Amino acid sequence: MFPLFNELDKNTSIMVVDPQDGSHVGMVHCANEAEAIEAIDIAEKTALEAKNLPVHTRMSVLRQVSEALLSQKEIFAQVIAREGIKTINEARKEVVRCVETLRISAEEARRFTGETIAFDQMPGSENKFGYFKRNPLGIIVAITPFNDPLNLVAHKIGPAIAAGNTVILKPHSETPLVAKMLVDLFDKTELPKGILQIVTGKGAVIGDVLVSDPRVRMVSFTGGKPVGENIIKKAGMKKIAMELGSNCPALVLSDANIELALESTVSGGFWAAGQNCLHVQRIYIQNDIYEEFAKSFIERAKNIRMGDKLKEETDMGPMINQKAAEKVERLVADALSKGAILSCGGEREGTFYQPTVLENVSNDCLIAKEEVFGPVVILFRFNDVKDAVEMANDVDYGLQAGIFTQNLDTAFTVADALECGGVMINESSDYRIDAMPFGGVKGSGLGREGVMSAVHEMSEAKTYCFNISKPV
């Protein structure tokens, strides 16, 4: 129990529960439409102040929060683990990443610059001199998911503040506590009030208000594809950045370092119980090593320790709620009804779903095409690398992919052919650092995150041109 979150009116609050056992973790206020509009009103009034906030102040704010977060690492990790789906060890790693995200954001504030333009490249413009610089957009609405409830919040707040914007944060209604804790750290700095606000509530109630208001200049959303498509329909003329998940492939070639491939794909397949946009969902294994790889992969999946998230020895926790676990159950049942082989797992108990490996899955199965967002990995065979690439691309997603091979020429060729936003060579799709551009193609989203890329997304170039008299 976290008393900090419990001094609220139960009639106007969201009760946050631990998905593992349904125990009460805390409460947050459940905002209504009028309160969402009020938040936009406040953001509009503070937009100019945010734009004019000196760079050294932006940097100082972000550094202070990163240092405060590091000093409270265990407290934040405990809340991440209690309200969400991560084990305590996974939660600790998320806090460390969040510290890094905020540090990088502080450095990007320093680099929020422009460059000169050679106007005299055009005949008749010899007396012109100028440059462009980047300006903040204004009001940004940031909508974040449950699976990374701290670091993905930082990936929106940090770049937005670095670029001089005002931010309205709408965290996922099932994991709002740690987001509120992070915003509270910002409130203890010299950041002027109103530049950063958090609005906790149900998306069905306040979502349309936040995304459709014309004063909002950008919506940055991480979540499911259906919700993302709905936001696009309602947002109007504003910038959109979206990361909408994936169905990530890994290609394991016959010359691969098998031990490395196993270690990377098992971790990528079952981290956070597969509730991860970079989750390794499909593994394509060259025929001559298939039996060896599949046997070892299945054995390792069977040895994953599922249980109490707060125990140090636990490898994997629950799904976010029973509805999510039942969805995985239905997808697996659909595959089995169409001839798939269940090599391990396949059982649900409440919100827990066992680490599951499927083989012989046909392309007409939903689980082969859609994002499972759960602890299920599908093993496929291939002979020719071109066929593997074609199968890997044959989905309406394209976030990241992994390739395992010792042949540099093959690595370059396959990486270029894969339709996705990032390719990890001799690493699974479930790898990123917080400084790199991050995003997908096709149904995986629009735009790029990663601190530097997000700062650019959250700003716009403005050109200045001077007509200077010819010197004597």
Three-class SS of residue 196?
strand
Q: Can you tell me the mean pLDDT for 415-429?
A: 98
Three-class SS of residue 163?
coil
First-residue to last-residue Cα distance in the chain: 77
Q: Can you tell me the mean pLDDT for 182-196?
A: 98
In DSSP notation, 320-340 reads: SSHHHHHHHHHHHHHHHHTT-
Place 137 in a pLDDT band, splitting at 50, 70 and 90: very high
Q: What is the pLDDT of residue 4?
A: 46
Q: Can you tell me the mean pLDDT for 294-305?
A: 98
Q: Can you tell me the mean pLDDT for 420-444?
A: 96
Question: What phi and psi, each to the nearest 5 degrees, are found at residue 179?
Answer: -65, -45
Question: Which residue in the list 248, 277, 344, 420 is annotated as catalytic?
Answer: 277
Question: Which residue in the list 90, 243, 370, 427 is annotated as catalytic?
Answer: 243
Place 472 in a pLDDT band, splitting at 50, 70 and 90: very low
User: Do 84 and 320 form a contact (C-beta atoms < 8 A)?
Assistant: yes
Angle in degrees, CA 460, 439, 140, rounded to 5: 40
Amino acid at 178: V
Catalogue all structural domains in the chain, each as residue range(s) with its CATH number: 3-245+443-463 (3.40.605.10), 248-439 (3.40.309.10)
Place 9 in a pLDDT band, splitting at 50, 70 and 90: low
pLDDT digits (tens, 9 = 90+) for 59-69: 999 999 999 99
Question: Rounded to whole angstroms, how far apart are CA atoms 241 and 203?
Answer: 18
Q: Can you tell me the mean pLDDT for 152-168?
A: 98
Q: Can 277 be counted among the known catalytic residues? A: yes
Place 7 in a pLDDT band, splitting at 50, 70 and 90: low
Q: What is the pLDDT of residue 38?
A: 98
Q: What is the pLDDT of residue 90?
A: 98
Q: Is the whole-model pTM more than 0.75?
A: yes
Q: What is the pLDDT of residue 469?
A: 83
Q: What is the pLDDT of residue 10?
A: 63
Question: What phi and psi, each to the nearest 5 degrees, are found at residue 446?
Answer: -135, 140
Q: What is the pLDDT of residue 400?
A: 98
pLDDT digits (tens, 9 = 90+) for 257-289: 999 999 999 999 999 999 999 999 999 999 999
Nearest to 40 by CA among 175, 182, 219: 219
Q: Can you tell me the mean pLDDT for 456-464?
A: 97
Confidence check: pLDDT of 5 > 70 = no
pLDDT digits (tens, 9 = 90+) for 76-95: 999 999 999 999 999 999 99
Measure the CA dihedral 304/389/260/372, to 10°: -20
Q: Can 243 be counted among the known catalytic residues? A: yes
Strand arrangement of the beta sheet that strand 459-467 belongs to: 115-117, 128-136, 459-467
Tell me what percent of the residues of the chain surpass a pLDDT of 90.
Answer: 96
Q: What average pLDDT does the structure give for the chain?
A: 96
Instruction: Kindly list the distances between the CA atom of residue 71 and the CA atoms of 24, 145, 159, 180, 191, in Å, as whole numbers in the listed order.
Output: 26, 25, 22, 17, 20
Confidence check: pLDDT of 2 > 50 = no
Question: Rounded to whole angstroms, how far apart are CA atoms 356 and 281?
Answer: 11
Which helix (H) or strand (E) segment holds residue 236: the answer is none
